Chains A and B, each alone.
Chain A
């Protein structure tokens, strides 16, 4: 299957966890279905869920937790 990138629709700060004391939404090796939440992007103090736009298995996270992200930048790679 071709490599697919999940991109952030908005700029902000990327979070892999729903809250600091909770586990990550998804990890490398997890399978995801279209519509699954893979992380949050905080823009101007509001949080928006980033959802997988394809089915697949996560092969890598391009960004670490709490890293700044620009709109359109890849967050994770699917196979």
Chain B
């Protein structure tokens, strides 16, 4: 069923991105929006806009009934969920299909399977993808647990099976420590969650976050190489690159092949990302999870591969086969994306939903800025703080960093604080320049360099 009219069930910069891809494919666009987004850039750009409810996401962007009603009344024959909101809601994907429309993404069953952490881990193991070494499920016997921990090698993480949000996690650095901490973790879990079950996982110290982009049509799957997103604050990515300079070519080949094998094993359809931890010390990689949607950082892959991932996923949802074979896909140069958030880096990244006063955007060779801004735009306080993404491409990483510095220097956004000063400061870091980073590198660096970032913020304002 070729897609003729696409409803965008999202907002912000990704809605703008989807409208652009659809328009280039000759597809009409219907933008649903909350009352708070009536004057958003996506609403202005779309062929048609439909108000689906009050500002709170639960009453608008998460309101399945209102979205399906809008799609029916507008005569849309497909829905793109973007990222966040309903993008990985299996029941929504099913409901879209049941209503006779195409869902731009994988089937509800695939979303359900990969969204269940334990099921996804089993699926990965069956597809031959390495997972973080640990116990197979819950451990009952403390002696067996200790023997396993010794086998895995210390440090190990003791996790409550029923835990979440970091609660019920202990790290043991030796067998003695394990013997003390494991029963503690179990009784804490019993008190907190009513379930004393624990399991054990190897701690990958100094891990990099590396993820592989895949595209599938339900039968065939290709990969578009990897991204590295090791610079994170509170588990949120702030800076992403493609490719990762940490990987040797043979490691990259194995990693990307494993992602294709996993996606093929579930008959994957659409754009997806398989996330891994990469251990710098050993060169080993471990599956963490699969994201069954387009990701925020997809543009760095587009920049090195010359592929429009959003257009490809729309084509696939419309029933087309993959247009690219693996041999067609070549990575060229290096791309970096930084996330511009409406947050004050000088005040512990406090969100600040202000109004855009002056706006000077960067451009020129190798620069792309995916955003939702215009002069006078009042940022609504109801959604996440992402304003846009500055993406640069260079012949190599050095060149890309030079361009990033140049582009940040051209950019000026006044009226509200943004995270731009953070990226200027990161470009001055020897570790970032050498890519000597891991997922726990950024937070301590921020603490040590708070004053420098504040000074830069002051200079930029």
Interface positions of A (Cβ within 8 A of B): 10-13, 43-46, 66, 68
Selecting from B163-171, B218-226, B263-271, B379-387, the interface stretch reads B379-387
Chain B nearest CB, measured from A36 CB (Å): 22
Inter-chain CA distance A49–B350, complex, in Å, is 14
Could you say which of B36, B54, B55, B381 contacts A43, with CB atoms under 8 Å apart?
B381
Assuming A43-B353, A44-B351, is B381 touching A12 (CB within 8 A)?
yes
Interface positions of B (Cβ within 8 A of A): 36, 54-56, 342-343, 350-351, 353, 381-385
Assuming A43-B351, A44-B342, A68-B36, is B381 touching A10 (CB within 8 A)?
yes
Would you call B353 and A45 a contact (CB within 8 A)? no
Inter-chain CA distance A66–B382, complex, in Å, is 11
Assuming A44-B342, A46-B351, is B56 touching A11 (CB within 8 A)?
no
Chain A nearest CB, measured from B354 CB (Å): 10
Could you say which of B36, B56, B385 contacts A66, with CB atoms under 8 Å apart?
B56
Q: Cβ of A68: which chain B residues have Cβ within 8 Å of it?
A: 36, 54-56, 382
Inter-chain CA distance A66–B381, complex, in Å, is 13
Inter-chain CA distance A5–B381, complex, in Å, is 22
Residue in B closest to A11 when the chains form the complex, CB atoms: B381
A-B contact count (CB 8 A): 34
Inter-chain CA distance A46–B384, complex, in Å, is 9
Inter-chain CA distance A13–B54, complex, in Å, is 11
Assuming A11-B353, A68-B36, is B384 touching A44 (CB within 8 A)?
yes
Chain A nearest CB, measured from B349 CB (Å): 9
Inter-chain CA distance A70–B351, complex, in Å, is 14
Assuming A11-B353, A68-B36, is B384 touching A45 (CB within 8 A)?
yes
Q: Cβ of B350: which chain A residues have Cβ within 8 Å of it?
A: 46
Inter-chain CA distance A66–B53, complex, in Å, is 14
Chain B nearest CB, measured from A76 CB (Å): 19
Inter-chain CA distance A13–B59, complex, in Å, is 12
Chain A nearest CB, measured from B453 CB (Å): 19
Inter-chain CA distance A45–B385, complex, in Å, is 8
Would you call B56 and A13 a contact (CB within 8 A)? yes
Q: Cβ of B384: which chain A residues have Cβ within 8 Å of it?
A: 44-45
Inter-chain CA distance A74–B56, complex, in Å, is 19
Inter-chain CA distance A16–B196, complex, in Å, is 33
Inter-chain CA distance A13–B351, complex, in Å, is 14
Inter-chain CA distance A72–B55, complex, in Å, is 18
Q: Cβ of B55: which chain A residues have Cβ within 8 Å of it?
A: 13, 68
Inter-chain CA distance A45–B58, complex, in Å, is 13
A and B contact pairs by CB, cutoff 8 A, 20 listed: A10-B381, A12-B353, A12-B381, A12-B382, A13-B55, A43-B351, A44-B342, A44-B351, A44-B353, A44-B381, A44-B382, A44-B383, A45-B351, A45-B383, A45-B385, A66-B56, A68-B36, A68-B54, A68-B56, A68-B382
Inter-chain CA distance A78–B312, complex, in Å, is 58
Residue in A closest to B342 when the chains form the complex, CB atoms: A44
Q: Cβ of A11: which chain B residues have Cβ within 8 Å of it?
A: 353, 381
Q: Cβ of A12: which chain B residues have Cβ within 8 Å of it?
A: 353, 381-382
Chain B nearest CB, measured from A7 CB (Å): 15
Chain B nearest CB, measured from A38 CB (Å): 19
Inter-chain CA distance A46–B341, complex, in Å, is 13
Chain B nearest CB, measured from A21 CB (Å): 15
Residue in A closest to B341 when the chains form the complex, CB atoms: A44
Inter-chain CA distance A41–B343, complex, in Å, is 16
Inter-chain CA distance A11–B55, complex, in Å, is 12
Chain B nearest CB, measured from A8 CB (Å): 10
Inter-chain CA distance A44–B380, complex, in Å, is 8
Chain B nearest CB, measured from A1 CB (Å): 33
Taking A44-B351, A44-B384, A68-B54 as known contacts, 13 extra A-B pairs with beta carbons closer than 8 A to each other, sorted by chain A number, are A12-B353, A13-B55, A13-B56, A13-B381, A43-B353, A44-B343, A44-B382, A45-B351, A45-B383, A66-B56, A68-B36, A68-B55, A68-B382
